[in-house]
Amino acid sequence: MAVAGRYEVRRPLGHGAMATVDLAHDEELDRPVALKRLADNLARDDERRHRFVREARLAARLSHPNVVRVYDVGEDDGRPFIAMEYVEGETLADLVARRGALPPAEAAELGIQACHALAAAHAAGLVHRDVKPQNLLLRHDGTLKLGDFGIAVGLEGTRLTEAGTVLGTAAYLAPEQARGDDVTAAADVYGLGAVLYELLTGRPPRTVTSLGQLGGADAYRIPDVRRQAPNVPPALADAVARCLAFEPAERPASAAALARELAAAVPELQTQPLPESPDRRATEILSAGPRPPARRRAVLAVAAVACAAGGAAAAVLLSDGGSTPPSRPAPSVAPVAHATQPAQQARNLAAWLRRNSG
């Protein structure tokens, strides 16, 4: 099957609620591409189409060895598509599932590559908002690529009442995202810290069992890397802990600053090329887009993680504990009623939003 008379679809690479991704061959330029197409049932939704094309335009603004390149954007038979660089390899999620915890030097080197990608995005004024192992692709030659800028500019125009819509994944979600506050590039630093924790220990920094306490201090106690992985150098563990600080201003000042901390923490990495120091701190690079009213922001953020967690009903718990950041009140929000069917779960979530967004 050929898309737009140019892209010959070879095999599926992935499928989600929003889009499908296939390996295709670009007949004009004779190269493989990853072809991302908006799901059939969403192609007639103008809002969804707008967000889908926006993702392509955001990513196309970046040209960097550690960022997945966008080659083309178009439409075929009423269905929008994005032709992207095909990264032959595996995600960091796949890597950890296959190997478990990585040696500290290897994890830090991957972290530095991710810092290069984020430094480029932040220099362009973009906040990724969804830094997690599934969005970091490792080529067979060892090059790391950051992909999927689908939620890069924020919460606006997003229908959280549809099953399968997820803005961020709770284990990697910065506290300010969960609270519905302004999101800056410091949220990406937090997400990368959570990824580094998983690379070093083989497990995410927390597991999600509900949404009731999300955004409160108890949900964001900083886990102790060395408790899970005693072989991690103290300086590297400290760098990860600083990334996971509750307050954005207490995290490394930028992705470039984090790269320097990682290189200094592991002596064999001190000859690694590092990103240039930026003119602005991460906390000064604000995610674009209008903000909803304060109470609605909190409801939207909690609902986003409700979708990610499948509507479970307990508390967000850390896997191993650690130090406690300054106390902040948790949002007083009852859990979403659980349902086994996605359609009913979506209706329950819609009713929950109406009750809590006044």
**Nearest in space to 302 (alpha carbons), one of 163, 160, 206:** 160
Is 279 known to be catalytic? no
Question: Rounded to 5 degrees, what angle do the CA atoms 54, 60, 62 make?
Answer: 125
317, with CB counted inside 10 A (0-12, 13-18, 19+), is middle
In this structure, how many other beta carbons lie within 10 angstroms of the beta carbon of residue 103? 15
* Distance in Å from the first CA to the final CA of the chain: 48
Structure tokens at 62: 């970046």
Structure tokens at 17: 């609620």
**Nearest in space to 217 (alpha carbons), one of 185, 244, 192:** 244
Identify the sign of the CA torsion 124, 125, 126, 132: positive
**Nearest in space to 229 (alpha carbons), one of 206, 201, 199:** 201
Q: Which of 22, 72, 130, 188 is catalytic?
A: 130
**For residues 21 and 35, is the Cβ–Cβ distance under 8 A?**
yes
**Cα–Cα dist 70/52, whole Å:** 13
CA 221 to the chain's CA centroid: 20
Structure tokens at 132: 């997690």
Which strand (E) or helix (H) includes residue 25?
Answer: strand 19-26
**Cα–Cα dist 261/320, whole Å:** 24
Structure tokens at 314: 């307990």
Catalytic residues: 130
